[in-house]
């Protein structure tokens, strides 16, 4: 693919991702009344397939926002006492900022760069008795790190009354997240990453425990009031405000492809396979940022040990029809990121790596 037209780029950035033409076409489905039976049936199908993808029986909610919308909803609606916010990068920091700016009492526990949130860290925090919420990032796109949320969930299970909130924005649909087995109360994702849709819609599972807690919390807000949304969804798969039905048609179609055509295990295995290809390549030419055993299956953060110009690399890659990401925040120019999520295939990934080798004479 040649030319510097951004409309034709193969995106290897951690969202938004390229969207398949047939999925985009579904967004052009004729408009329907959002209170109609057709809309209810659409939303029910989406909920049931998301329950399969998330391995849960919990209530599924949708929000016409990025994942940040439900993250803010979750921390504001579920914290009655104090929240323990665990961060392994920029987006864990953002979740803490959401708490603080919403006057939610919270403390941040930040891991060393490239290191995970461990079950021991969580246990030590909970032993203080200060917290009734734990918030963890499953997959951090700034650091290319994937936390072991199942292990953390088993620790939280030993502390009755503590809710477990998980940001799976950049992993759901690309890595297995077993919500019920991991004791997760709210699991959040966005459409523009591993689900392979355009940005503008987020999804979450909500446990009965989380809903009951929210009932006791005052000043939850209006548009992002978890109680108001969950109550309406439980009633008839409808929403208090107008939903984005174009996104829902596309999500309904895409979830069917994920669950019934590609298959969940095949999809998770494909993402893991692509991640291993990038890691092997990175270790041959550079170094990986995230600690071994905690590396993401959807995006890899590579240290720029040769001090190359990542900006110049991307300018040349764009001429060849590709785009990767610079490092995020403090890692800008010190690292670069290659995403391998949603519908990426091995052939496309190998071509990208070949182009980088050619440009940088590796």
Length of the chain measured in residues: 362
Which contacts (CB < 8 Å, 24+ apart) does range 37-40 have?
A: 39/238, 39/243, 39/245, 39/248, 40/236, 40/237, 40/238
Q: Write out the H or E segment, with its range, that includes residue 301.
A: strand 299-303
Do 246 and 180 share a structural domain?
yes
Residues 98 and 72: beta-carbon distance below 8 Å: yes
Q: Is residue 1 part of a domain?
A: no
Structural domain including 41 reads 21-260
Do 321 and 248 share a structural domain?
no
- Distance, in Å, from the CA atom of 42 to the CA atom of 115, rounded to the nearest integer, reads 41
Do 336 and 311 share a structural domain?
yes
Q: What is the pLDDT of residues 211-265, one digit of tens each?
A: 999 999 999 999 999 999 999 999 999 999 999 999 999 999 999 999 999 999 9
Residues 102 and 75: beta-carbon distance below 8 Å: yes
Global pTM exceeds 0.85: yes
Do 278 and 153 share a structural domain?
no
pLDDT of residue 3: 44
pLDDT of residue 361: 97
Residues 64 and 243: beta-carbon distance below 8 Å: yes
Helix 346-360 and helix 264-285, axial crossing angle in degrees, nearest 10:
10
Q: What is the pLDDT of residues 99-154, one digit of tens each?
A: 999 999 999 999 999 999 999 999 999 999 999 999 999 999 999 999 999 999 99
Final residue belonging to a domain, choices 260, 277, 295: 260
Compute the average pLDDT of residues 33-47.
95
pLDDT at 337 over 70: yes
Domain count, the chain: 2
Q: Is residue 181 part of a domain?
A: yes
Q: Is residue 187 part of a domain?
A: yes
Do 13 and 30 share a structural domain?
no
- Joined together, the tokens standing for residue 276 give 């291993």
Do 35 and 14 share a structural domain?
no
Do 256 and 330 share a structural domain?
no
Tell me the CATH number at 107: 3.40.640.10
Do 338 and 220 share a structural domain?
no
Do 189 and 123 share a structural domain?
yes
pLDDT of residue 1: 37
Do 221 and 292 share a structural domain?
no
- Distance, in Å, from the CA atom of 165 to the CA atom of 186, rounded to the nearest integer, reads 5
Final residue belonging to a domain, choices 211, 241, 260: 260
- Joined together, the tokens standing for residue 105 give 């009492």
- Distance, in Å, from the CA atom of 170 to the CA atom of 14, rounded to the nearest integer, reads 7
Tell me the CATH number at 290: 3.90.1150.10
Final residue belonging to a domain, choices 260, 285, 301: 260
- Distance, in Å, from the CA atom of 164 to the CA atom of 138, rounded to the nearest integer, reads 12
Do 126 and 92 share a structural domain?
yes
């Amino acid at each position: 693919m040649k030319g510097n037209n951004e409309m034709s780029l193969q995106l290897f950035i951690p969202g938004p991702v390229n969207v398949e033409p047939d999925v985009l076409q579904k967004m052009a489905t004729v408009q329907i009344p959002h209170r109609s039976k057709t809309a209810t049936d659409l939303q029910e199908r989406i909920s049931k397939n998301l329950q399969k993808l998330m391995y849960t029986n919990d209530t599924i909610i949708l929000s016409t926002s990025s994942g940040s919308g439900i993250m803010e909803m979750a921390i504001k609606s579920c914290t009655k006492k104090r929240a323990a916010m665990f961060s392994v990068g920029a987006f864990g920091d953002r979740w803490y900022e959401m708490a603080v700016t919403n006057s939610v009492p919270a403390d941040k526990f930040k891991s060393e760069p490239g290191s995970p949130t461990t079950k021991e860290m969580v246990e030590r925090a909970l032993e203080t008795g200060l917290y009734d919420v734990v918030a963890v990032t499953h997959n951090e796109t700034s650091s290319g790190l994937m936390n072991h949320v199942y292990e953390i969930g088993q620790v939280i299970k030993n502390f009755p009354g503590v809710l477990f909130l998980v940001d799976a924005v950049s992993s759901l649909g690309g890595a297995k997240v077993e919500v019920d087995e991991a004791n997760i109360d709210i699991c959040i994702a966005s459409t523009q990453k591993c689900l392979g849709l355009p940005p503008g819609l987020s999804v979450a599972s909500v446990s009965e425990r989380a809903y009951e807690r929210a009932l006791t919390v005052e000043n939850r807000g209006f548009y992002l009031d978890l109680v108001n949304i969950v109550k309406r969804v439980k009633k008839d798969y409808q929403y208090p405000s107008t939903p984005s039905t174009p996104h829902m048609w596309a999500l309904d179609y895409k979830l069917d492809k994920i669950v019934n055509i590609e298959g969940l295990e095949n999809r998770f295995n494909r993402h893991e396979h692509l991640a291993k290809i990038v890691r092997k390549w990175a270790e041959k030419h550079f170094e990986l940022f995230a600690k071994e055993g905690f590396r993401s299956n959807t995006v890899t953060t590579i240290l720029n040990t040769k001090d190359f110009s990542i900006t110049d690399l991307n300018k040349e890659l764009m001429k060849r029809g590709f785009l990767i990401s610079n490092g995020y925040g403090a890692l800008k120019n010190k690292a670069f990121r290659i995403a391998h999520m949603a519908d990426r295939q091995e052939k496309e990934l190998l071509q990208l790596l070949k182009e980088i080798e050619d440009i940088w004479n590796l």
